[in-house]
Amino acid sequence: MEPSENTNKKPIAALLRQYPRGHVIAAGSLVLGLSLLLAFSSSEGTSSSRQSQPIALKLPDTGQVLELEPASLEAQPPFEAAENSPQPQAPEPEPEPQTLTYTTFTVKSGDSLSVLFKRAGLSDRDLYELIDQAPEARALRRIMPGNEITFGLTPEGELEELVYQRDQLRSLRFARQDDAFASEELERTPDVQIAYRRATIDSSLFLAGQRAGMTDNLTMELAGIFGWDIDFILDIRRGDTFSVLFEEHFLDGEKIGNGPILAAEFTNRGKTFRAVRYVSAEGDANYFTPEGRSMRRAFLRTPVEFTRISSPFNPNRRHPVLNTIRAHKGTDYAAPRGTPVKASGDGRIKLAGRKGGYGNTVIIQHGQTYETLYAHLNAFHRNIRSGVRVKQGQIIGYVGSTGLATGPHLHYEFYVNGSVRNPVTVELPQAESVPSSELARFKSQVQPIMAELEQYHRETQLASVGNELRVN
Ligand SMILES: [Zn+2]
């Protein structure tokens, strides 16, 4: 989340002053903290009036309380002073904050905002007022069953505050501020713990993962990391082992999900592969060997999930529609119409348009050496047009049969230095290693992680040796 301009302008003090259900302000995200600082530093020299209370931010990780004092307070806004009353020396004391009554509703299937407002004792007029005054309230139209909405009402029954809990971590809050509603997005930071699992494959990768207490998603992620070196359908053998170090996320002591895999090791038919996650200086997360070589190739072998190869690469083929000998310069992957087609590598779109018998075609230029071509597309992805940069795996279009094609399929061509190659057999270059300028940063980031993986590894080995000794 980036601090948006809006965030900086919100009267955060008012929003933080009260929190329903007596929670400590969980605005622990550093991003919000940062945006607060930005808000105050940018307030110098501007003429907005602000609350005078210091703002306490409790960081959930450390329990540290951060107090922020607004740097300077503007003069009181001009107001009609009652006649004869002396000019006040100091700003009037703030009126006591009203005591609000908070009620939380869980959205049920079939609930609309209007229904929820009625349940809270409010009218459609209140709802329109909120949506009219706070553009962010449009997000409320996407409420889903299970979401929670908290209403804070004055003793007179007027809406003063509304909190929409989008998910376990993010909430959107609206608070009446003068004559309008101000909004604020709050994000909680989960507590992160490192977890370790190790398994030996007996029959299948997924069963081994499940036995080790891994979710199928986590196992899939693991397979994705090593999928460039190991064919998980053909290469897996009984006795293969793997271990994985990953993040587990907790909120108020309850597990809410897994974070990324931090490091993993896979031994396939006696050969061991190691991977570690590294977040580059630019913020991109990727997996590398502990030496800094990329775990992935610069190109996907196949840019589409296909049912079969309907026509292989063949320089001397009789064309099925033209019935003449004409090289088949690519591989045809049969797939249902509409199947997403992915960019096989990072690059720049050279063409996204009609190209004779190829029909709707995308050509991607990958650096100086490589080019890939995707033909007969039913449609292009809406973000795809000439000149646009794409990432490996990004959807560029959808399988179709435009141009000269007998049925829906992707015709895929692969060029190296201008000459066409068989996409199925061409040697795919490794994706870029960690640049040498970043190697020191890489080492300092990944060495402790690899050491931790090793440590767990030794401990479990010792434990299993101990078990065997006990059994025998
Ligand atoms: Zn073809």
Domain spans of the chain?
5-77+100-187, 191-288, 308-421
The residue with greater pLDDT, 70 or 348, is 348
Task: Report, as an integer, the average pLDDT of 271-276.
Answer: 96
State pLDDT tens for residues 41-66.
333 333 333 333 443 444 444 444 44
- The pLDDT of residue 294 is above 70: yes
Quick one: pLDDT band at residue 462, thresholds 50, 70, 90? Answer: confident
- The pLDDT of residue 18 is above 50: no
pLDDT value at residue 138: 84
The residue with greater pLDDT, 59 or 361, is 361
* CA angle centred on 260, ends 256 and 262, rounded to 5°: 130
Q: With pLDDT > 70 as the criterion, what percentage of the chain qualifies? A: 76
Task: Report, as an integer, the average pLDDT of 297-301.
Answer: 93
Quick one: pLDDT band at residue 4, thresholds 50, 70, 90? Answer: very low
- The pLDDT of residue 2 is above 70: no
pLDDT value at residue 179: 79
CA of 366 relative to ligand 1 center, distance in Å: 21
Does the domain at 308-421 match CATH 2.30.42.10? Answer given as no
CA of 359 relative to ligand 1 center, distance in Å: 11
272 φ/ψ angles, rounded to the nearest 5 degrees = -105, 130
Q: Which two tokens stand for residue 186?
A: 């709050």
CA of 391 relative to ligand 1 center, distance in Å: 24
Quick one: pLDDT band at residue 135, thresholds 50, 70, 90? Answer: confident
pLDDT value at residue 95: 58
CA of 309 relative to ligand 1 center, distance in Å: 10
CA of 320 relative to ligand 1 center, distance in Å: 10
CA of 372 relative to ligand 1 center, distance in Å: 13
- DSSP class of residue 393 equals T
d(CA 342, CA 302): 9
Give the containing element (helix H, strand E) for 180.
strand 180-187
CA of 412 relative to ligand 1 center, distance in Å: 7
pLDDT value at residue 69: 37
CA of 413 relative to ligand 1 center, distance in Å: 9
Task: Report, as an integer, the average pLDDT of 183-193.
Answer: 92
How high does pLDDT run on average in the chain? Answer: 81
What residue ranges in 298-430 does DSSP mark as E strands? Answer: 308-311, 331-334, 340-342, 347-354, 360-366, 370-377, 379-380, 389-390, 395-398, 409-416, 419-421
pLDDT value at residue 231: 87
State pLDDT tens for residues 315-336.
777 666 667 777 899 999 999 9
Task: Report, as an integer, the average pLDDT of 371-385.
Answer: 97
CB-based contact 173:183 (threshold 8 Å): yes
CA of 387 relative to ligand 1 center, distance in Å: 25
d(CA 40, CA 56): 14
Quick one: pLDDT band at residue 376, thresholds 50, 70, 90? Answer: very high
Q: Which two tokens stand for residue 64?
A: 């540290």
Quick one: pLDDT band at residue 351, thresholds 50, 70, 90? Answer: very high
Report helix, strand or coil for 38. helix
Quick one: pLDDT band at residue 92, thresholds 50, 70, 90? Answer: low
The residue with greater pLDDT, 472 or 459, is 459
CA of 311 relative to ligand 1 center, distance in Å: 7
CA of 354 relative to ligand 1 center, distance in Å: 15
The residue with greater pLDDT, 191 or 93, is 191
CA of 376 relative to ligand 1 center, distance in Å: 9
Task: Report, as an integer, the average pLDDT of 287-302.
Answer: 94
- The pLDDT of residue 196 is above 90: yes
In the chain, what's the furthest Cα-to-Cα distance? 103
Task: Report, as an integer, the average pLDDT of 251-267.
Answer: 94
CA of 159 relative to ligand 1 center, distance in Å: 63
Fold of 191-288: Nuclear Transport Factor 2; Chain: A, (3.10.450)
State pLDDT tens for residues 306-315.
988 999 998 7
CA of 323 relative to ligand 1 center, distance in Å: 14
The residue with greater pLDDT, 131 or 276, is 276
Task: Report, as an integer, the average pLDDT of 162-174.
Answer: 90
pLDDT value at residue 48: 32
CA of 298 relative to ligand 1 center, distance in Å: 23
State pLDDT tens for residues 380-410.
999 999 999 999 999 999 999 999 998 999 9
Task: Report, as an integer, the average pLDDT of 354-373.
Answer: 96
pLDDT value at residue 132: 87
pLDDT value at residue 209: 95
Q: In which order are the strands placed within the sheet that holds 159-165?
A: 101-106, 148-153, 159-165, 170-177, 180-187
Please compute, for residue 239, the number of CA atoms within 13 A of its CA located in the half-sphere on the CB side.
4
Q: Which two tokens stand for residue 324?
A: 């003449």
CA of 367 relative to ligand 1 center, distance in Å: 25
Report helix, strand or coil for 352. strand
d(CA 386, CA 323): 33
Domains 5-77+100-187 and 191-288 share a fold: yes
- Report strand pairing: 55-58 vs 65-68: antiparallel
pLDDT value at residue 10: 33
CA of 429 relative to ligand 1 center, distance in Å: 24
CA of 400 relative to ligand 1 center, distance in Å: 12
CA of 318 relative to ligand 1 center, distance in Å: 11
CB-based contact 274:414 (threshold 8 Å): no
Non-local CB neighbours of 208 within 8 Å, separated by 6+ positions: 199, 200, 201, 202, 242
pLDDT value at residue 70: 36
d(CA 81, CA 150): 38
CA of 231 relative to ligand 1 center, distance in Å: 26
CB-based contact 330:412 (threshold 8 Å): yes
Non-local CB neighbours of 402 within 8 Å, separated by 6+ positions: 354, 359, 360, 376, 377, 378
CA of 348 relative to ligand 1 center, distance in Å: 23
State pLDDT tens for residues 235-252.
899 999 999 999 999 998
CB-based contact 460:198 (threshold 8 Å): yes
Quick one: pLDDT band at residue 133, thresholds 50, 70, 90? Answer: confident
CB neighbours (10 Å) of residue 275? 25
pLDDT value at residue 264: 97
Does the domain at 5-77+100-187 match CATH 3.10.450.350? Answer given as yes
CA of 341 relative to ligand 1 center, distance in Å: 15
pLDDT value at residue 468: 52
d(CA 42, CA 126): 33
Report helix, strand or coil for 9. helix
Please compute, for residue 128, the number of CA atoms within 13 A of its CA located in the half-sphere on the CB side.
3
CA of 401 relative to ligand 1 center, distance in Å: 10
CA of 332 relative to ligand 1 center, distance in Å: 5
